Chains A and B, each alone.
Chain A
Amino acid sequence: MIITQIKQRRKELDRGKNVYVPHMVLVDKIIEETPTVRTIHFHFKDTELNNEFTFESGQFAELSVFGVGEATFCISSSPTRNDHWECGINRVGLVTAALHRLGVGAEIGFRGPYGNHFPLDMMAGKKLVFVGGGIGLAPLRSLIWNVLDNRDKYDKIDIVYGARSPGDLCFKYDLDTWEADQSLNTVITVDKGDAKWKGREGFVSEALMDAAPSSRNAVAVVCGPPVMIRSTFPVLEQLGFMPDQVITTLEKRMKCGIGKCGRCNIGNLYVCRDGPVFSYAQIKDFVSDEY
């Protein structure tokens, strides 16, 4: 009965556990990725939490600028490099603009990690194809470094990443490292180059088609804007990927991050609680088309 269940929780509440109160974190470093994207590196003010905190690739956090608001960001650093944490911030509104105005040493709030995570167990021993677009590289990056730090657990790896223009490419320092790494096949493309661009031009879906990674015993992970995701699924299908071999992350406006405020639902699932990581097989069977 609900009332008895509530009485049982009284003990937990008495310990003052309030999921909505953020932990304090301090900004260590700020990297300007593109004119609108910055990565912030941070650590927890509380040293015990700093030592204990861990998360899984694909999970997200709610960052607070007190007095301005809270917003959702995926944790873009890898759990294998747990000395600090990173989030990529795309300046699109009130809270992200405030985050962009911060300097090193600023104090912000952190709630998380929330959501589910990429299924590393399922991916072990398989060929991996990472397909990213624009700021969609942020969650993917956590996963890629996680995988590369355990390279021998996985088979062949392809990375296909693109952005609208050379100026919109994120995490360029990672792209350089991956392009130089002989154990990976990395393809970078831009929709439209500029005078200085010497690389590939074209959409991510086209680059993926040309790369033609094998779908046998392989898993594809796709992260990017909805239009990119929708154009990538058919290509993967053509390459022979079955729906349960394709993983993606979905994005919806979020607030609480813990499945209570109701706003991020797609059908009966909450992106914050049942996602943000979903397989294409799940999406195909969704009761709702809202993604």
Chain B
Amino acid sequence: MITKKVSKKDIRKLLTAWNQECNVIVPSRVDGVVGMAAWDNQDISFLDWYRNTVIPPKSCFLPKSEVMMSFKKNENGLKLEVPTGEHWQVIFGVRPCDARANAIIDHVFAVTYDDYYYISKRRNTLLVGLSCTNPYDSCFCTSSNIDPTESEYVDLMFTDIGDDFVIEDFTGGGKALLNMSNTVKKVTRADIDKAKEVKAAAVGQVKKTVDMEDVDRKLRSLFNDRDYWERISAKCISCGICTFLCPTCFCFDINDEMIRKEGARYRGWDSCSFRSYTKMPMENPREEKWRRVRQRVCHKFEFFPMNLGINACVGCGRCIRLCPVNWDITQVIAGLPVEAGVKSGK
């Protein structure tokens, strides 16, 4: 429910108020690349140009590289130290697609065992969503049943209605953020009506659509069709762009680095698109590219629904926008045979 609003003129004041209590992370352009970075206490021009980031917000919880523990060798043996002290942070400008994606990987990192590094950052983070009114031509969130202006996975949702943002709050944390500043005002009936207009129009802005109905069933019947996958994967070059920029991809690697007596264990992003991802000394089950492309598509659209009941693709379109060869997942999905037969052979 829309209950409050804040004027665009007051955004700097609001962010400043938040900045007293926690780190405020906002969209920023570094060397021309749009990402999320710590607010510099000044610049709010992102309100004019921000559409979506290149690196998704998952990097705030699962960075491209982080220290898991550091070690020092001394006369008594080995001393292990784990980084501690996560600060409260607020991420401003999370789009509904990324918000749902965050919730999906929140689950992955909390199921059975808690992932200390991810959860300790996540639990100290509040997400402020921002309705998406200027999608890219590669966006297709609506096909994943996401409304670009609604999300149940954020603490606050801001929607731009011209001179103001209207605000919906969903959690105690969100309410607390609103109480930090007197720039947050009550909404009027007119504001709510304008917001409804903006939201309705936003849905129509998402031009790319694809039918995701029954994708998991179609993929299951195609699993052993080597010819199909070889054809589909022909132009892929096996880089890691789609996986690294996907907000629901979470695969990581663990590596140690040591120089003389000091070192650390790092966690970093890894990708099922890389040939060495599943390489074992005696064999590599995914040596061939078509197997890796098959894994990529099936994990997102078949195995995730089998395990979690939800399709893991949120339609953010980053994979399409930044793929070096314009490999387009929506084309693949649309082209899945309706009645796919099972080809013989394993």
State if A and B touch, Cβ cutoff 8 Å.
yes
Interface residues, chain A, with chain B CB atoms under 8 Å away: 1-3, 5-7, 9-10, 12-13, 17-21, 24, 64-70, 92-93, 107, 225-226, 251-253, 255-256, 258-263, 265, 267-268, 273, 287-291
Contact present for A260 and B115 (CB under 8 Å): yes
- Which residues of A sit under 8 angstroms from B35, Cβ to Cβ? none
Q: Is B318 an interface residue (CB 8 A)?
A: no
Segment among B5-13, B89-97, B117-125, B180-188 that sits at the interface with chain A: B117-125
B123, B286, B295, B299: the one contacting A9 at CB < 8 Å is B123
The total of Cβ contacts below 8 Å across the A-B interface reads: 149
B82, B220, B286: the one contacting A290 at CB < 8 Å is B286
22 A-B interface contacts by CB (under 8 A) = A2-B153, A3-B106, A6-B106, A9-B110, A13-B123, A19-B116, A20-B69, A20-B117, A24-B77, A66-B80, A67-B71, A67-B258, A69-B255, A225-B282, A255-B252, A258-B113, A259-B112, A260-B108, A261-B251, A262-B250, A265-B303, A268-B302
- Which residues of A sit under 8 angstroms from B82, Cβ to Cβ? 18, 21
Contact present for A268 and B256 (CB under 8 Å): no
CA distance A102 to B321 in the complex (A): 49
Rank and list the top 6 A-B pairs by shortest CB-CB distance, nearest first: A67-B258, A92-B281, A262-B251, A268-B303, A18-B116, A268-B306
Q: Which residue of A lies closest to B263 (CB)?
A: A67
Contact present for A252 and B68 (CB under 8 Å): no
Q: Return B34 CB to nearest CB of chain A, in Å.
A: 26
Contact present for A287 and B302 (CB under 8 Å): yes
Contact present for A258 and B78 (CB under 8 Å): no
Contact present for B116 and A261 (CB under 8 Å): no
Q: Return B245 CB to nearest CB of chain A, in Å.
A: 16
Contact present for B114 and A288 (CB under 8 Å): no
Q: How many residues of B contact A (CB 8 A)?
A: 64
Contact present for B251 and A263 (CB under 8 Å): yes
Contact present for A2 and B103 (CB under 8 Å): yes
Contact present for B171 and A3 (CB under 8 Å): yes
Q: Which residue of B lies closest to A270 (CB)?
A: B307
Q: Is B214 an interface residue (CB 8 A)?
A: no
Contact present for B272 and A19 (CB under 8 Å): no
- Which residues of B sit under 8 angstroms from A255, Cβ to Cβ? 252-254
Q: Is B40 an interface residue (CB 8 A)?
A: no
Chain B, interface SS category: mixed
Name B276-316 residues within 8 Å CB distance of A.
Answer: 277-283, 285-286, 291, 295, 298-299, 302-304, 306-307
CA distance A265 to B298 in the complex (A): 11
Chain A, interface SS category: loop
Q: Is B23 an interface residue (CB 8 A)?
A: no
Contact present for B281 and A93 (CB under 8 Å): yes
- Asked if A20 meets B68 with Cβ closer than 8 Å, knowing A67-B258, A69-B255, A287-B223, the reply is yes
- Asked if A290 meets B285 with Cβ closer than 8 Å, knowing A13-B116, A20-B116, the reply is yes
Contact present for A258 and B270 (CB under 8 Å): no
Contact present for A1 and B123 (CB under 8 Å): no
Contact present for B251 and A253 (CB under 8 Å): no
Q: Which residue of B lies closest to A67 (CB)?
A: B258
CA distance A13 to B85 in the complex (A): 12
Q: Return A207 CB to nearest CB of chain B, in Å.
A: 22
Q: Given A64-B265, A267-B298, A268-B302, list of 9 further CB < 8 A pairs?
A: A6-B106, A13-B114, A17-B116, A18-B82, A21-B69, A260-B250, A262-B250, A262-B270, A263-B251
Q: Which residue of B lies closest to A19 (CB)?
A: B113
Q: Which residue of A lies closest to B71 (CB)?
A: A66
Contact present for B119 and A261 (CB under 8 Å): no
Q: Is B152 an interface residue (CB 8 A)?
A: yes
- Among A17, A19, A267: residue with most chain B CB under 10 A: A267
CA distance A284 to B257 in the complex (A): 41
Q: Return B222 CB to nearest CB of chain A, in Å.
A: 11
- Which residues of B sit under 8 angstroms from A93, Cβ to Cβ? 281
CA distance A21 to B109 in the complex (A): 16
A66, A67, A261, A268: the one contacting B253 at CB < 8 Å is A261
A10, A225, A258, A268: the one contacting B123 at CB < 8 Å is A10
